[in-house]
Structure 1
Amino acid sequence: MHAETRPRAGKPIAVAPRPDRRQQLRRWFQAGFFVMFVLAPPFDLLRYDLVAGHAWFLGMEWHVGFDDYSAGRIGLAGILGAVLLKVFLPILGAGAALIFTAWKWGRLYCGWLCPHFSVVETINRLMQRATGKPSMWESRTLPPREPDGTPIRYDRRWWLLTVPLAIAFAFTWAVVLLTYLLPPAEVYGNLVAGEPTRNQLIFVTAGTVVLSLEFLFARHLFCRFACAVGLFQSLAWMGNRGAMVVGFERARAADCANCYSACDHACPMRLKPRNVKQAMFTCTQCAQCVSACETTQRDNPQGPLLGWVAGDAARRNEAILAGQRPGAAGERR
């Protein structure tokens, strides 16, 4: 009979995708977007050429029409219409798509695509190996083990990799950002020949220094307080009480007693995932806390305590965590 095929009590029950599968997929998305971020200018997918005075989009020259306006070939109405159609509408369209995604699912762009956040996570892991802390500003050393129990050996020699890699990331970012403004062939050609122009050298040097300091000391602060893209996503997300959020089964909080707060330690933004949504303002929906909980609770027949929830489930989750009766959040939509 069908009932005989059900798992016996006490056996782990698969209640969610394997954590490594989700995180592997996220890593692929991050790697793909980082590659696109680097290669977009050389392939003229998206950049603005200060030398030529026009943009490139998907391999095509993107002219607004200022040259035609200066030459008298189009009037004021023509140039205003061109600016509206070719500048403001594309920007507003991309912004609207980003904000709608954030309103419904949170900062998915940050956690799954953003090339800066992928650097944040990489430096976090290396710094934790070197000091036991994923950030210079962490108040205490994290437990030396992975969520699955694998021991981690902290060794200051990891600094020999952490600092050079942060500088390498900073240099890469500075050069790539420059190729969004100047012809990539010129920028890379000058660098390979060791003959960058004075302005190129100043830009790359200043960018490398500033970004190196940011990657080593202030990468989380940038994501939390300085990134306009992240800030507007968070504001949109907070405005939707039914948006996707990391839910916590508070009724089963006793199951956390045998855990070493793996979800807290896994968060690259240094947040407390079992808290209310207001305290998770800068959550990037990377789901590392969910994966950590799934791993530590893999032998629990009831499954993990953390998981993505949306709609009414998200409202109930917030009501319970806030100490309200479950229906209160749904009444104040």
Structure 2
Amino acid sequence: MTEHALSFHPARPRPDRQRLRLLTQVGFFVLFVLAPVFDLLRYDLVAGHAWFLGMEWHAGLADFSAGRTGALDAALGIVLRVFLPILGVGAVLIGVAWKWGRLYCGWLCPHFSVVETLNRLMRRATGKFSVWDKRRLPPIEPDGTPIRYDARWWLLTAPMAVAFAFVWAVVLLTYLLPPFEVYGNLIAGTPTRNQLIFISAGTVVLSVEFLFARHLFCRYACAVGLFQSLAWMGNRRGLVVGFARDRAADCASCHSACDHVCPMRLKPRKLKQAMFTCTQCAQCVSACETTQRDNPDGPLLQWVSAAAAEANEAPALPAQARI
């Protein structure tokens, strides 16, 4: 194959895509908060067993300790009740990532929804998504709406980061202790010493992470994201943001909106190997659809997969492999 350019058919803008993604993020965040309350998924340190979909989930070690079962039965119980479910969930996650990329991160992950919320607030306060960014973003939305940067937004940004950190710390604790005990103690203002230490330490650590290192965590420290990225990079036909390079001149009419909206601070027009941590949030695609809405040839960025994804990555292959 000697033709490297990837051409797209004109496509209508899809403003509903980001609304749908917001709904999935909000829904999963609510599930993340309420799962321990309804015993959908948690491990109870007090009772010494897990809960799953409202049912007690035992590994069988209690029976082994009491002498009611042998070592073989105990080992089999651990394999069937602990390792196989974990491996099954991991296999589903990796399988989805292999075909569609980090969809979990961009469309469900409760941490990433906090990242994007704080991105928007911090941009208002500083003109940047991160305090480590060297340059301010253009004060304009993809649709042309101007944005006014004002340091007074810090009065909302910093408290929101701390509030999210507190919520996370409390929710994480309910995955380990009876939720009604945790919430009851907080409402009464009488948390136990260990509960207070856990919530206080978690709030401090997460506040620092949300304010200064949330992008770094998603890109370099999150094991769930890393394994998804590795699986996705191994599939050249997987879903990817494709760029119509033969029409790159059309980008001259845009202020690089696709670059500026990326919550992971990536450059969407680059090849896949430079997009290792892409979360498939499609904000770059939506931005391109908006800026090119009057272009009869349609946007320059679109989701592509299978043969179209391979064609999009062709310029990265050695010359002999392209023939």
Q: Which category describes the TM-score, using the shorter chain as reference length?
A: over 0.9
SS for the counterpart of 2:241 is: strand
Partner of 2:321: 328
1:219-230 aligned at under 5 Å gives the runs: 219-230=214-225
Inter-partner Cα distance in structure 2 for 1:227 and 1:268: 16
Q: Where does 1:1-333 land on structure 2 (aligned, <5 Å)?
A: 15-16=11-12, 18-320=13-315, 322=316, 328=321
CA shift, 1:324, in A, is 5.8
Higher RCO structure (Cα 8 Å, ≥6 apart) = 2
Q: Percent identity?
A: 75
RMSD: 1.3
SS of 1:303's equivalent in the other structure is coil
Unaligned residue ranges in structure 1 (runs of 5+): 1-12
Secondary structure of the equivalent of 1:31? helix
The letter for the 2-side match of 1:86 is: R
Q: Which runs of 5+ in 2 are unaligned?
A: 1-8
CA distance in 2, matches of 1:15, 1:323: 28
CA distance in 2, matches of 1:249, 1:318: 11
User: What SS does structure 2 have at the residue aligned with 1:83?
Assistant: helix
Query: Cα distance, 1:206 vs. partner?
Result: 0.3
Secondary structure of 1:307's counterpart equals: strand
Paired with 1:247 and 1:328, the residues of 2 have a C-alpha distance of: 20
Alpha-carbon offset, residue 227 of structure 1: 0.3
Instruction: Spell out, residue by residue over 1:141-180, the C-alpha distance to the aligned partner (whole angstroms, 9 max, x if none).
Output: 1111100000111111111100000000000000000000
Distance 1:210 1:328 in 2: 48
SS in 2 for 1:81: helix
**Matched residues in 1 for 2:67 and 2:15: separation?**
61
Question: Quick one: distance in 2 between partners of 1:195 and 1:58?
Answer: 30
TM-score normalised by L of structure 2: 0.95
TM-score under structure 1 normalisation? 0.93
Aligned pairs, number = 315
Secondary structure of 1:313's aligned partner = helix
Distance 1:32 1:150 in 2: 29
Runs of 4+ residues over 6 Å off in structure 1: none
One-letter amino acid of the counterpart of residue 291, structure 1: S
SS at match of 2:105: helix
| Matched AA of 1:272 | K
